[in-house]
Structure 1
């Protein structure tokens, strides 16, 4: 079959899609990845075939969401960022406290400030390519609704590939529960494309015919009435090489510290006091490996003797050598660490990170504290606990077993073939 994959130009989201794309290719299927022109090189660097569509639009420059915010206010979702309503914090709130008005206002804000910015430049070109190429299945990043529009316009089945907890499906579930015949900004916006391209709109434009979930069972956050297909997260971070120092076992317990690619690639600054964290860990008998880009390293006043600072190192090579990992709560780092059975300290900041970090702690595989309240002494105490209390290693081992029990991308391909045939409208 022919499979079209699409995402707005967010590198971390695309990297998560690459292993499934290759699983489909190695199973003999044709795969194309449609993206904005400026993002095509990222696709081809992964060995996949890119289809440039539409015009270039830098979402981060347009919305400027966090670059100039004080550290304590840096969050993308809900009432944690004053004046920036979002429906996507619904999964963290008591359903009794949710109102149609709140969710409507959140959708209106997100549509104008995020979804239109990342989708409108792509829709026409994506629909044109889909109608010419005629894919059997379209797989789209869960906010790249242009993929759903293109699928319906050409009659293909389509699915969301989640980038974390399904905050989008849960928000939609609550909104439909409260809607009661009132205005629906998201359906009205997407419905305008249905009218333009001649198909009947439906909820699949928001949540797909089915959804691919890369999280292991203890970390899943899903809507109740949607069809989910579990697929094992497979780490891919782009071109990388293993440094010589990493080939030698550490003489002391090694602890990794990483705050993810998004913060460094978009120059938004750390939500934690990096100097404070390094200082707080300086007197521990550990080898601290911190992935800090050169531009951020230049801002540091000092580097502790027990710390090794590197711009980047491939996680599948670093994590197995570690006794603990400190990170931002991003899905890629969290699940990679889980798959190697290493205890974790999560310092979440954005969207689903706090909820996933809470689930991580509930599974007994680590500890969590919000990045905006993570003081040096608190982080030091948490790291000490991870290294000395056996229960965290035991919890991490249980989570590892759960993570590795999820079907690998190659094992999921037959299920995708079945669902594509069932949901195709051609």
Structure 2
């Protein structure tokens, strides 16, 4: 079977889907991943066939520029971006630029089945236009499209005026995708499913699926394979926070951890760290090193609350301190605190002594490690991506 996977062009939006794409390839299916911008190269390096559905511009870079207030989409960007301004959804830029190319790629590929993420309307519209069965996959542990009340309150996703415009522009009409199931990848005690449940909106079944972290491939350094003599604490702000807000939030964290008897792994990607000055002797700056390469030997992690960054320590049973930035980061932080797998602190009010005390609690109090281990055990019993995919394809074969 030929399966088209559709994702928006951000690390946290695309990487959670990669294990499912691998499962399809391992099952003997032909796959094609439709995305754009930096994710085209990132996914190619993950060993996947990828098509850039909007090669004319760097859509992700344009979005960051608009969010930072550096670019006015109404006057400085092409028509596709002006269409996006009609939507209150910041991801409308992806819908406006990527939908047509995704449909064209699916037709050229001869897709028999479409897999798209819940936050990617271009994938949903492509599935509608192609008229083949589809699978909608949640790519967050912070929220799911099952959280109807929260989604409505925050005006997150769901079809809007822009989707209607794209349907009219591309001749899709009112056709809706033939969705065989929707996937919630969260552990049950973190808001996920214990068993199948019907969607109250349309009766499409929701299925649980194990979240398998993928943060990129790398040559794993020797030190990352072994625990050291002191507790090891990971620190990261992901990819979006440094691009929008810089590394200001790291100043307090680095000073706090620099005064503790711990080893710190600072994974800040390509962010400019000059504002931090000379790093403490116990801080190892590793640039972009995938979390899965060193998190298994960490005792705690301090991060911004990105969904993928929150999910990885859950998978490995590592307690976490979340300093939520924006978007759904506060929701991730709240889920972490409510489940007892970590602590949360508003970065605007974070102080050195407070951060140090919270990290000390994560390292010294057994309750956090126990709760994190419980969630990791829950995740391990959920259906694997490969079993979920094969189940979806069997359901698709029965779809009229």
- TM-score computed with the length of structure 1 as normaliser: 0.78
User: Which residues of 2 match residues 290-301 of structure 1 at below 5 A?
Assistant: 290-293=266-269, 295-301=271-277
Structure 2's unaligned 5+ residue stretches are 71-83, 194-198
Residue 417 of structure 1: how far off its partner (Å): 0.7
1:358 aligns with 2:334: yes
1:191 aligns with 2:164: yes
Q: Following the alignment from structure 2 to structure 1, what is the Cα–Cα distance between the partners of residues 104 and 288? A: 39
Q: Counterpart in 2 of 1:92?
A: none
Q: CA RMSD in A?
A: 3.2
Query: 1:59·1:114 contact (CA, 8 Å) conserved in 2?
Result: no
Q: Which one of the candidate residues 357, 368, 374 is aligned to 1:398?
A: 374
Q: Following the alignment from structure 1 to structure 2, what is the Cα–Cα distance between the partners of residues 268 and 162? A: 27
Which structure would you say has the larger RCO, counting Cα contacts within 8 Å and 6 or more residues apart? 1
Q: Following the alignment from structure 2 to structure 1, what is the Cα–Cα distance between the partners of residues 152 and 9? A: 28
User: Which residues of 2 match residues 239-254 of structure 1 at below 5 A?
Assistant: 239-254=217-232
Q: Following the alignment from structure 2 to structure 1, what is the Cα–Cα distance between the partners of residues 264 and 158? A: 48
Q: In 2 relative to 1, CA 241–417 (structure 1 residues): closer, same or farther, beyond 3 Å?
A: same
Structure 1's unaligned 5+ residue stretches are 70-107, 179-183
Q: Which one of the candidate residues 123, 134, 137 is aligned to 2:113?
A: 137
Q: Counterpart in 2 of 1:40?
A: 40
Query: 2:300·2:362 contact (CA, 8 Å) conserved in 1?
Result: yes
Residue 203 of structure 1: how far off its partner (Å): 6.7
- Listed one character per residue, the Cα deviations across residues 219-273 of structure 1 (whole Å, up to 9, x for unaligned) are 2369754632222122222231112332443111111111113334x36413x53
Aligned length: 376
Q: In 2 relative to 1, CA 394–227 (structure 1 residues): closer, same or farther, beyond 3 Å?
A: same
SS of 1:153's equivalent in the other structure is helix
SS of 1:296's equivalent in the other structure is coil
Q: Counterpart in 1 of 2:73?
A: none
SS of 1:289's equivalent in the other structure is strand
User: Which residues of 2 match residues 11-410 of structure 1 at below 5 A?
Assistant: 11-36=11-36, 39-54=39-54, 55-62=56-63, 64=65, 66-67=67-68, 111=87, 114-164=90-140, 165-166=142-143, 170=147, 186-196=159-169, 198-201=171-174, 210-220=181-191, 225=201, 227-264=205-242, 266=243, 268-270=245-247, 273-293=249-269, 295-410=271-386
- TM-score computed with the length of structure 2 as normaliser: 0.83
Q: Following the alignment from structure 1 to structure 2, what is the Cα–Cα distance between the partners of residues 203 and 169? A: 19
Residue 195 of structure 1: how far off its partner (Å): 4.3
Query: 2:6·2:117 contact (CA, 8 Å) conserved in 1?
Result: yes
- Listed one character per residue, the Cα deviations across residues 389-426 of structure 1 (whole Å, up to 9, x for unaligned) are 111111111111112122111221221113323456xx
Q: Following the alignment from structure 2 to structure 1, what is the Cα–Cα distance between the partners of residues 374 and 158? A: 43
